[in-house]
Structures are given as structure tokens and as C-alpha cells.
């Protein structure tokens, strides 16, 4: 059975969400899975910096949470 640990999740547009999960199967090495919207995200070029910033912040949060798990283990 896979152990799933959410690392980060958030809205990148009013209709699109990205989630990042640590997947730890019992029989193979762990992996990080990013769940992107099922359809392409369409953004007005004037709003692109805002959306790009949201994606970067979300991945930074996931990275920080993964680093904490690696450094401190689980509660």
C-alpha cells in the first residue's frame, strides 16, 4: 500500500489547482507527484506573472515540506 503525504496544494488560477504529493510505496523508491489541471491553463498575458508566482510559491512550499520530512522525519 502506498503512503501518500501532501506536500502542497493551491489555486494557480480561479479554476485551476495544483497539488504536490510524496508517494512512498512499500516495494519501490519514493517519488514526488505533481497533479496538474486536466486541461490546459489559459491565462491572459497581463496575469501571467501572477500565475507564475503562484506556481513558484506552491513548489517552494512543497520543497520546504519535503526537506522537513527528510531532515526531521515524521511526527
The residue whose grid cell reads 512499500 is 26
In angstroms, the Cα distances linking 18 to 24, 40, 42, 53, 55 are 20, 12, 14, 13, 8
**Cα–Cα distances in Å, from 2 out to 30, 71, 74?**
9, 21, 16
**Tens digits of pLDDT across the chain (75 residues):** 789 999 999 999 999 999 999 999 999 999 999 999 989 989 999 999 999 999 999 999 999 999 999 888 764
Q: Structure pTM? A: 0.85
Show the DSSP H helices in 1-75 as ranges.
Answer: 48-72
Coil vs helix vs strand at 31: strand
pLDDT tens for each residue of 11-32: 999 999 999 999 999 999 999 9
CA distance 59 to 16: 15
Amino acid at each position: 500500500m502506498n503512503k501518500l503525504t501532501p506536500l502542497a496544494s493551491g489555486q494557480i488560477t480561479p479554476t485551476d489547482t495544483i497539488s504536490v504529493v510524496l508517494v512512498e510505496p512499500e516495494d519501490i523508491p519514493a517519488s514526488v507527484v505533481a497533479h496538474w489541471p486536466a486541461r490546459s491553463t489559459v491565462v491572459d498575458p497581463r496575469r501571467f506573472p501572477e500565475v507564475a508566482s503562484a506556481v513558484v510559491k506552491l513548489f517552494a512550499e512543497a520543497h520546504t515540506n519535503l526537506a522537513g520530512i527528510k531532515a526531521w522525519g515524521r511526527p
